[in-house]
Amino acid sequence: MTRKWWKEAVAYQIYPRSFADSNGDGVGDLRGIREKLPYLKELGVNLLWLSPVYDSPNDDNGYDIRDYRKIMAEFGTMEDFDALLAEAHANGMKLIMDLVVNHTSDEHPWFQSSLRDPDGPCRDYYIWHKGRDGKEPNNWVSFFSGPAWNYYPERDEWALHLFSKKQMDLNWDNPALRREVYDMIDWWLAKGVDGFRMDVINLISKDGLADGSEALAGAIGLRGIEHYFYGPRLHEYLAEMRRESFGRYDAVTVGETAGLGMQMSKMLTAESRAELDMVFNFDALENPGKTRFDDYRYDLRYLKKYLLDWQQNYGDNCWMSLFFENHDNPRMVSKVNPDPAVRAPLAKLLATLQLTLKGTPFIYQGQELGLANVDFASINEINDVESRNLYQELCGKMPSEEAWKRILAGTRDHARAPMPWNAGPNGGFTAGTPWLRMADGWQTCNAADEMRDPDSVFHYYKKLIALRRENPALVYGAFRPVFLKTKRHADVFCYFRVLDGRKFYVECNLTAHQTPRPAPLSGAQAKRIGNYAEEAPVLRPYEANVYEVL
């Protein structure tokens, strides 16, 4: 297995709008992030991923980009960005950007030119089509509810948008557009950024515009998805992009590729194919048959099944990412068990899995504090465009209380609530009014208090991150699961990580009930990190232990 800096890194995702506000306008910013670098250094993470910080009208909080070479005014200036990058590097941290190139804002000059100058150089930069009997060119629906098309009288044509009405899909079949994208990537790499997380990158190749099948639309009703979720030229574009940009740097790429499954993910990340380094696979985030908007309790025994498969079958030629949360998903602790009494042990159990398995861990801001979902009172407290549109759509089909229940289960705003830094007003996030309601319980669950408490979720993360960074066995070591066939141990997940004579043993109880403890290991054990103070003959709710086997 090839050694790479990004396999050894522990990554941390920052959602800049909600991380730290330096000037009291209620919106997080780049200076805020800079001020928190010592915190991140103490936690021990060494690869930062910033959700988009580019100029944007914020229809989808920065995932609708108006200018790829400019910083969003609310977040600061390019000087602030350069200073942040330099300071991150000086502190031994790499920094990657979010690359959103499936679509741009409708306010991007390319789109404005494409719209107003149908014979000009940008005429085919987007996916335009004549209507069908005065209606949309096909029956595709948007990820954010409603038809995936806008009509523009200026061209008497429709333009495709798989996401919001202001996020217009780019036409990757146009080589001039691709050149523009590669030049832009190059511009950032030349600045010194260390790579990119690539937004919905598997959607860039569309196989024509035929109607979508109702049967393939799936539980989330994404009619049309079979025409673009793994398009015919996807591999070609990714390989070309790598050749023309990343490949000439020591940069890392992580593709966001929801729904692709293992075989397609292998095709995208096999080293020999030189396309992407890693992908974010979302299959582990919901139990089978469930979607994010279903109100249910996630069963961690499914996670075991999923991880066993990927850890053993993804292969030595591919490298996986490990994550449970991001800015698009509710907090994992709340999904598994919202009981506040188990919040801390459960958060630590998830940390244990994420930091001792094979793959690069991506921690989402606040996860290291064990943050839980927000108790939003009504749709009026929700900012997210996806939730607001979906609420409207659902209210047409069911009573509004039921619609709200679904939104409350799945809204992306759970993860976007501002970071609680201390027990002061607004959790120290801002001196003004936060742009989105704070997470509940920040008076007791916040960075300052957890940094003072050696038993906190924060310190647990810190210890495990240090252990991982000091031990190549936890990065490159073979994964050896045990007790798989013993029925009475169906609720535990136990495995070894082994490399060059160094050996770690991890034991986890995946349930909220006590379960028999698998037979003790032979040989001396040392260096226990666990979420219960003392050892016991049984495994208690969500108990997790990490040993070095000597």
Question: Which residues are part of the catalytic machinery?
Answer: 199, 256
Number of amino acids touching Ca ion (CB under 5 A): 5
φ and ψ of 527, to 5 deg = 55, 65
Which of the listed partners (Ca ion, ligand TEU, none) does 23 bind, with a CB threshold of 5 to 8 Å by partner kind? Ca ion
* Residues sharing a CB contact under 8 Å with residue 10, sequence separation 6 or more, in sequence order: 44, 45, 46, 47, 355, 360, 361, 363, 465, 468, 469
Note the residues at the interface with ligand TEU (CB under 6 A).
60, 63, 100, 143, 163, 199-200, 256, 258, 327-328, 386
Shortest distance in whole angstroms from residue 28 CB to ligand TEU: 16
Which of 11, 20, 27, 512 forms a contact with Ca ion (CB under 5 A)? 27
Which of the listed partners (Ca ion, ligand TEU, none) does 65 bind, with a CB threshold of 5 to 8 Å by partner kind? none
Whole-number CA gyration radius for the chain = 23
Of residues 450-489, those binding Ca ion (CB under 5 A): none
**What stretches of 357-456 show up as alpha helix (H) in DSSP?**
385-395, 400-410, 413-416, 447-452
Shortest distance in whole angstroms from residue 198 CB to ligand TEU: 10
Q: Is 23 in the site for Ca ion (CB under 5 A)?
A: yes
Nearer to ligand TEU, 188 or 458 (CB): 188
Rounded Cα distance between 443 and 366, Å, is 14
Which of the listed partners (Ca ion, ligand TEU, none) does 100 bind, with a CB threshold of 5 to 8 Å by partner kind? ligand TEU
Nearer to ligand TEU, 285 or 447 (CB): 285
Which of the listed partners (Ca ion, ligand TEU, none) does 239 bind, with a CB threshold of 5 to 8 Å by partner kind? none
Which of the listed partners (ligand TEU, Ca ion, none) does 143 bind, with a CB threshold of 5 to 8 Å by partner kind? ligand TEU
Nearer to ligand TEU, 13 or 356 (CB): 13
Shortest distance in whole angstroms from residue 258 CB to ligand TEU: 5
Rounded Cα distance between 419 and 426, Å, is 9
- The three-state DSSP-derived secondary structure of 71-107 is ECHHHCCHHHHHHHHHHHHHCCCEEEEEECCCEEECC
Of residues 191-210, those binding Ca ion (CB under 5 A): none
Shortest distance in whole angstroms from residue 120 CB to ligand TEU: 26
Nearer to Ca ion, 27 or 185 (CB): 27
Shortest distance in whole angstroms from residue 521 CB to ligand TEU: 40
Q: Render the burial of 493-523: b for 16+ CB within 10 Å, e for the rest.
A: bbbbbbeeeebbbbbbbbbbeebebeeeeee
The angle, 0 to 180 degrees and rounded to 10, between the axes of the packed helices 300-313 and 343-356 is 10
| Binding piece for Ca ion, criterion CB under 5 A, among 19-27, 270-278, 341-349, 373-381 | 19-27
Rounded Cα distance between 476 and 91, Å, is 25
Q: Render the burial of 266-275: b for 16+ CB within 10 Å, e for the rest.
A: bbbbeeebeb
The Cβ of residue 445 has, within 10 Å, a number of other Cβ atoms equal to 23
SS3 39: helix
Which of the listed partners (Ca ion, ligand TEU, none) does 29 bind, with a CB threshold of 5 to 8 Å by partner kind? Ca ion
Shortest distance in whole angstroms from residue 18 CB to ligand TEU: 13
The angle, 0 to 180 degrees and rounded to 10, between the axes of the packed helices 234-244 and 261-269 is 30
Q: What is the largest CA-CA distance in the chain?
A: 76
The angle, 0 to 180 degrees and rounded to 10, between the axes of the packed helices 261-269 and 300-313 is 40
- Which residue's Cβ has the minimum distance to Ca ion? 29
Which of 6, 17, 21, 157 forms a contact with Ca ion (CB under 5 A)? 21
Rounded Cα distance between 158 and 53, Å, is 29
Shortest distance in whole angstroms from residue 450 CB to Ca ion: 24
Q: Which two tokens mark 204?
A: 């860039």
Nearer to ligand TEU, 100 or 332 (CB): 100
- Which residue's Cβ has the minimum distance to ligand TEU? 63
**Are 388 and 412 within 8 A, CB to CB?**
no
The Cβ of residue 220 has, within 10 Å, a number of other Cβ atoms equal to 14
Nearer to Ca ion, 376 or 429 (CB): 429
Binding map of Ca ion across residues 29-68, x = CB under 5 A, - = no contact? x---------------------------------------
Which of the listed partners (Ca ion, ligand TEU, none) does 27 bind, with a CB threshold of 5 to 8 Å by partner kind? Ca ion
Q: What is the rounded end-to-end Cα distance, in angstroms, of the chain?
A: 25
Shortest distance in whole angstroms from residue 17 CB to Ca ion: 9
- Antiparallel, parallel or unpaired: β 502-509 and 544-549: antiparallel
* Residues sharing a CB contact under 8 Å with residue 483, sequence separation 6 or more, in sequence order: 489, 492, 494, 518
Nearer to ligand TEU, 231 or 345 (CB): 231
Nearer to ligand TEU, 225 or 372 (CB): 225
Which of the listed partners (Ca ion, ligand TEU, none) does 328 bind, with a CB threshold of 5 to 8 Å by partner kind? ligand TEU
**Which stretches of the chain bind Ca ion, using CB under 5 A?**
21, 23, 25, 27, 29
